[in-house]
């Protein structure tokens, strides 16, 4: 798989160091709050798994699976819920865990939905932020790394469902897309 990569943007060591730092910050922020960490499938899986092990506080986890509605044809930001939570979020401190915020549509929608469901707080931690892709205005509370306007893969992020298992973040060679 490494031969498919044009370049590595963020090494495994850099990711692991950042995840530990975020874990410490979030542990301080959420101690005594029994937060509910919500991973957005499938991309958030590796980050979520490492992040919760870096948090030494009481917490709960759950997952959602969503798919973007229409993409190019609509800018409504509507997303289809493929798998909802098993947990009631009323009065809970919810922390969404994402691999990447690109247009921002997925999380803008989920954030609004959880406020409507009366969560006590709704915040977002993302490993990667691609601000150049943003289509909707939204606040991201904690960001691991900013990435340039390129399609990135690895550590949860896929191209055609592949490369999620890479321990680093990189950019594929152009011929892989063809
Ligand atoms: O900010 P946005 O433009 O909404 O994009 C970000 C979302 O897109 C990707 O998920 P995708 O829908 O590809 O599903 P996956 O995690 O299963 O790959 C990524 O994991 C985020 O959830
Ligand atoms: O750069 C990306 N790579 C993989 N999946 C994505 N989903 C949104 N942006 C990206
Ligand atoms: Mg994807």
Q: Do residues 41 and 83 make contact, with C-beta atoms less than 8 angstroms apart?
A: yes
- Looking at every residue in the chain, the average pLDDT score rounds to 93
Cβ < 6 A, ligand 1 pocket: 40-43, 68, 98-106, 158
Position 1 scores a pLDDT of 86
Position 70 scores a pLDDT of 52
- Integer angstrom CA distances of residue 147 from 29, 122, 129, 140, 152: 25, 24, 6, 14, 8
Position 79 scores a pLDDT of 85
Of 47, 67, 75, 100, best ligand 1 pocket probe by most atoms within 8 Å of the beta carbon: 100
Q: Whose CA is nearest to atom 6 of ligand 2?
A: 157
Percent of the chain with pLDDT over 90: 88
Q: What structural domains does the chain harbor?
A: 12-68+76-151 (3.40.50.2020)
* Predicted interface score ipTM higher than 0.95: yes
Position 86 scores a pLDDT of 86
Position 75 scores a pLDDT of 47
Clarify whether 158 is annotated catalytic: no
Supply the pTM of this predicted model: 0.95
Residue 48 CA to its chain's centroid (Å): 8
Residue 104 backbone dihedrals phi, psi, to 5 degrees: 90, -5
Q: Whose CA is nearest to atom 20 of ligand 1?
A: 43
Q: Do residues 109 and 116 make contact, with C-beta atoms less than 8 angstroms apart?
A: no
State the CB neighbour count (10 A cutoff) for residue 31: 14
Q: Do residues 1 and 170 make contact, with C-beta atoms less than 8 angstroms apart?
A: no
Of 151, 165, 176, best ligand 2 pocket probe by most atoms within 8 Å of the beta carbon: 151
- Identify how many contiguous H helices and E strands the chain contains and give both numbers: 4, 9
Query: CB within 8 A of 90, min separation 6: which ones?
Result: 117, 118, 119
State pLDDT tens for residues 53-92.
999 999 999 999 998 755 444 445 678 999 999 889 999 9
Torsion of CA 91, 93, 99, 104, to 10 degrees: 60
For range 91-98, the mean pLDDT = 98
* Residue 114, token pair as written in the block: 């959880």
For range 30-57, the mean pLDDT = 97
């Amino acid at each position: 798989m490494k031969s498919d990569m044009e370049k590595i943007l963020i090494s495994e060591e850099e990711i692991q160091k950042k995840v530990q730092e975020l874990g410490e910050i979030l542990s301080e922020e959420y101690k005594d709050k029994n937060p509910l960490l919500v991973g957005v499938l499938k991309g958030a899986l590796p980050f979520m798994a490492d992040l919760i092990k870096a948090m030494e506080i009481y917490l709960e986890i759950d997952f959602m699976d969503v798919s973007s509605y229409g993409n190019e044809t609509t800018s409504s930001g509507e997303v289809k819920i493929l798998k909802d939570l098993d947990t009631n979020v009323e009065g809970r401190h919810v922390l969404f865990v994402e691999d990447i915020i690109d247009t921002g549509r997925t999380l803008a929608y989920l954030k609004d939905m959880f406020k409507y469901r009366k969560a006590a707080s709704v915040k977002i931690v993302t490993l990667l932020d691609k601000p150049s892709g943003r289509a909707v205005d939204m606040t991201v509370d904690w960001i691991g790394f900013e990435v340039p306007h390129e399609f990135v893969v690895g550590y949860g992020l896929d191209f055609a469902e592949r490369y999620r298992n890479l321990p680093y973040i990189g950019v594929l060679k152009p011929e892989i897309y063809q």
